[in-house]
Amino acid sequence: MPASNYPTKKRLSDLKTNILATAQTSHFQAWFEPPEAVRGWMGHKAAAGVGKAYTPAKGEFYSLMCSDATLPGSTLATHEQVNDFTGVTERHAYRRQYDERSEFSFYVDNQYDIITFFENWMSFIVNEQSSQGLADKNFHYRVNFPEEYQTEIYINKFEKDYTNRMLTYRFINAFPLGINSTPVSYNASDILKVTVSFSYSRYIVSAQALPTPQQVADQLAAGTITNADTAALNSLLSSSTNSN
């Protein structure tokens, strides 16, 4: 046994440094930027009076309205090997398996933009060209190709002191899989919330430093970040400035 594993005396300052410096659940941002084909479809639907066209400003709005998210997980699939050694059962990993879906909950605004945003995205997936004919008895549709409706979404996990540390979860080939039923009633009013399930192929997690305003400006000038990235960074930096 390594010597460091033996019990030793600890000072109160050690406990404060290690045990009390815990991450908090309430500091995160989720970002949803639909692919170009879906954004064009949303513009078409907005012209017909259903929802709003997607813009970077609306992307930040959808991010701020996300009240709950789940950091994704994964497991290792293993093969069981019995009796290679007497009385020993071994397991050897052969595949990493990712969760099938991730759920996000949103506060619903009084214009219902949150609901129509995801309804229109799912409407594009199944290629509902217009509202005409949807109620027909023999209505049918042909689903669009995955590359047209799949995108990358992000969860940024950071802390309230904004001291240049952040985990970014990047979901690959993500798209809204379902909108959960949302109950309403005549009981005491509460904020309406809707939960959306996203399907994805896998995720990538990375630890990175929170950039400075000058670094954001340099990346914008170089064209190395997207509109969603820009909105996320500006929002984080703005929050950092206000907290100081």
Inside any domain, residue 183: yes
Host domain of residue 168: 24-71+80-210
Q: What is the mean pLDDT of each run of 10 residues along the chain (244 residues)?
A: 70 76 86 92 83 85 94 93 85 92 94 92 83 69 91 91 81 96 92 96 87 70 61 50 42
Q: Please indicate, yes or no, if residue 34 is contained in any of the structural domains.
A: yes
Instruction: Judge whether 3 lies within some domain.
Output: no
CATH number, position 151: 2.30.110
**Residue 131 located in a structural domain:** yes
**What pLDDT, on a 0 to 100 scale, did the predictor assign at position 109?**
93
Whether residue 107 lies inside any domain: the answer is: yes
Q: Is residue 194 part of a domain?
A: yes
Q: Which residues contact 211 (CB under 8 A, 6 or more apart)?
A: 219, 233, 237
- Identify whether the C-beta of residue 160 lies closer than 8 Å to the C-beta of residue 168: no
| Domains contained in the chain, number | 1
Answer yes or no: pTM beyond 0.75: yes
Confirm whether 184 is domain-assigned.
Answer: yes
The answer as to whether 57 is a domain residue is yes
